[in-house]
Amino acid sequence: MKDRKQITKIAKALFNNALKAQTVEKIGVDLYTCTDILRQNQDIRHFLKDIFHPMERRLEILNKIADRAQFDPISTAYLNQLLELHQLDWLPMINDYYQHLSDEYRCREQATVSTPLPLSGDDKEQLVETLSQVTGKEIVLKEEIDPSLIAGIHVQIGSLVLDGSLKNQLRRLQKEIVHAAR
């Protein structure tokens, strides 16, 4: 609970600094990129977290990564602080909350759509347009393939779930049959 409050506080402070510097999108990309680098490269992640390596050396490695990836100086400063505070493990959660703040600011909403087969380009465009009209926000679509749905579509936007999958319809039908048999 305490960590969550700290993570939220850090993400909000970073977002406010990005707003002032007009670098909201750039810092969002930096956070995502760094999170992805650390997730994919276990050796780098372990080196940065290993307290037996001098902090100066760990900061040097982190700054090389930031330089090569052309991170904004604000991003680099926050990453250095996380490392110095031994809280680099918080980065994925800070990234998630920062992206949430950025989406709210830009009137964007993340929508996860699950289908048994990939959607065509036209279907994606139509879905994004429809969801944008319903929510009044720009929709960023994340597509997931789930063969267990059999047919239809399952959409989640925040806490709103729209389930038009055959799997869900069969589940409801099963419940109705069981209820009617009692």
Which residues 6+ apart lie within 8 Å of 137 measured at CB? 107, 108, 109
The reported pLDDT for the residue numbered 55 is: 97
> 47 vs 164, which has greater pLDDT?
47
The reported pLDDT for the residue numbered 52 is: 95
Q: Using the predicted structure, report yes or no on whether residue 170 has a pLDDT greater than 90.
A: no
Name the nearest CA neighbour of 6 among 109, 81, 59. Answer: 81
How much is the average pLDDT of 26-34?
97
Contact 61, 44 (CB under 8 A): yes
Which residues 6+ apart lie within 8 Å of 34 measured at CB? 65, 66, 69, 71, 75, 79, 91, 95
How much is the average pLDDT of 25-50?
96
> 45 vs 180, which has greater pLDDT?
45
Q: Using the predicted structure, report yes or no on whether residue 177 has a pLDDT greater than 80.
A: yes
Distance CA 131, CA 141 (A): 10
Confidence (pTM): 0.72
C-alpha 19: how far from chain center: 19
The reported pLDDT for the residue numbered 11 is: 95
The reported pLDDT for the residue numbered 174 is: 86
Can you tell me which residue has the tokens 């991003």? 75
The reported pLDDT for the residue numbered 90 is: 96
CATH tag, 2-103: 1.10.520
Q: Using the predicted structure, report yes or no on whether residue 123 has a pLDDT greater than 70.
A: yes
Q: Using the predicted structure, report yes or no on whether residue 176 has a pLDDT greater than 70.
A: yes
Let me know the angle formed at the C-alpha of 86 by 82 and 88, rounded to the nearest 5 degrees.
50
Tokens for 171, please give them.
Answer: 């589940």
How much is the average pLDDT of 7-20?
96
pLDDT, tens digit (0-9, with 9 covering 90-100), for 41-83: 999 999 999 999 999 999 999 999 999 999 999 999 999 999 9
Q: Using the predicted structure, report yes or no on whether residue 1 has a pLDDT greater than 80.
A: no
Distance CA 117, CA 141 (A): 15
End-to-end CA distance of the chain: give it in Å, rounded: 45
For the chain, what are the domain ranges? 2-103, 108-181
pLDDT, tens digit (0-9, with 9 covering 90-100), for 75-86: 999 999 999 999
